Amino acid sequence: MYLAIDIGGTFIKYALMDSAGTIVTKGRQSTPRVHLAGFMDKLCSIIDGHDLSAVKGIALSCPGTVDAARGVIYHGGSLPFMHEVNLKQEIERRYGIDAFVENDGKSAALAELWLGSVKNAKDSVVLILGSGIGGGIIIDGKLHRGVNLSAGEVSYIMHQFNLETKRGQYFGLDCSAVDMIRRIAEIKKVDSSDGEVIFEYIMQGDAEANAIFDEYCLYLAIQILNLQYILDPEIIAIGGGISAQPVLIERIQRAIADVKEANPLHIANPKVVACQFRNDANLYGALYHYFVSKEKLVNS
């Protein structure tokens, strides 16, 4: 068995998994967000709650920029107290068990590479839609990290720029799924935490909801075309909670067609699909990262 742990800003999810990726047991607990000591106490209590004699390794996914080779986290994303923490070293010191750490967005991409929507593709892009946009770039069947570990951080791509203020608009902000749902919820005066209700408005043809949703899909389409020209991947897979809604992929494909029709110079024809994994993606990806990292160590 392997213990996979997905550290999120709201919950720490965990699962005992076998080498084929089968989840045997799983659970979740609230993430302490006050300070590092409280967080580590909770993380260790989760690990202590398992029979470690049956655990061969611990695979972790977490927010922030992650030096996966060393296990060091930078910035920490929604958990800034994780900055410069070597989580791999800390877990191995406490438990004497091999541990490997990966960024959450890249873990989701690795899940799709291992067992999901891009497993048979040589080159692909995985975009995870949430509060921003995470994911990863797969080149020649391997996750591409870049010299500063920032490859695939598409949230920072600017798509508009004010020459006077020198300020731009960011892909991650304008294509925030959380913000899109919040905007529709405000107009319809409903709870923004219930995404299913929001998509009921969209599917029922509500004009206000669809205006916001179509604008959202148009911004996605523009950047998908840009990524297709830059990387020319076989597949661009879309994940995150809203990817469970079939209308998302349909509207993105329609938006791509609309952009191409209005701009005849476009020749790109991106293949856009939904990711296979959603809520458990980071658990699968963290475990796959463990296997790849362990193999590198053995062969080095």
**141-174, pLDDT tens digit by residue?**
999 999 999 999 999 999 888 999 999 999 999 9
**38-65: average pLDDT:** 96
Residue 25 pLDDT level (bands cut at 50, 70, 90): very high
C-beta neighbour count of 158 within 10 angstroms: 10
Domain check: are 55 and 88 in the same one?
A: yes
Indicate the number of domains in the chain: 2
Residue 33 pLDDT level (bands cut at 50, 70, 90): confident
- Please name every residue paired with 102 in a beta bridge, in sequence order, or none if there are none: 61
Residue 111 falls within a domain, yes or no?
Answer: no
Question: pLDDT at position 203, please?
Answer: 96
The string of pLDDT tens digits covering residues 71-129 is 999 998 889 999 999 999 999 999 999 999 999 999 999 999 999 999 999 999 999 99
Domain check: are 269 and 285 in the same one?
A: no
- Would you give the DSSP letter of residue 142? E
- Rg, the chain, Cα only: 20
**12-22: average pLDDT:** 97
CATH code of the domain containing 68: 3.30.420.40
Domain check: are 127 and 71 in the same one?
A: no
Residue 109 falls within a domain, yes or no?
Answer: no
CA distance 86 to 127: 27
Question: pLDDT at position 193, please?
Answer: 82
- Look at residues 43, 31, 121, 41 and name the one whose alpha carbon lies nearest to residue 79: 31
Cβ(114)–Cβ(284) below 8 Å: yes
Residue 110 falls within a domain, yes or no?
Answer: no
Domain check: are 143 and 16 in the same one?
A: no
Residue 112 falls within a domain, yes or no?
Answer: no
**37-41: average pLDDT:** 96
Question: pLDDT at position 74, please?
Answer: 95
CA distance 256 to 252: 6
Domain check: are 167 and 74 in the same one?
A: no
CA distance 211 to 191: 19
Residue 134 pLDDT level (bands cut at 50, 70, 90): very high
**8-34: average pLDDT:** 95
Residue 283 pLDDT level (bands cut at 50, 70, 90): very high
Rounded to a whole number, what is the distance in angstroms from the first to the last CA of the chain?
24
Domain check: are 166 and 145 in the same one?
A: yes
Domain check: are 260 and 292 in the same one?
A: no
The string of pLDDT tens digits covering residues 219-260 is 999 999 999 999 999 999 999 999 999 999 999 999 999 999
Residue 277 pLDDT level (bands cut at 50, 70, 90): very high
Residue 284 pLDDT level (bands cut at 50, 70, 90): very high
H-state helical runs in 69-103: 87-95
pLDDT above 80: residue 300:
no
Domain check: are 22 and 154 in the same one?
A: no
Range of the domain at 17: 2-104+279-299
**35-46: average pLDDT:** 96
Domain check: are 235 and 144 in the same one?
A: yes
pLDDT above 80: residue 59:
yes
Tokens of 25: 């047991």
Question: pLDDT at position 299, please?
Answer: 83
Residue 130 falls within a domain, yes or no?
Answer: yes
Domain check: are 288 and 193 in the same one?
A: no
Residue 203 falls within a domain, yes or no?
Answer: yes
Mean pLDDT score across all residues of the chain:
95
Domain check: are 151 and 137 in the same one?
A: yes
Domain check: are 80 and 128 in the same one?
A: no
C-beta neighbour count of 174 within 10 angstroms: 20
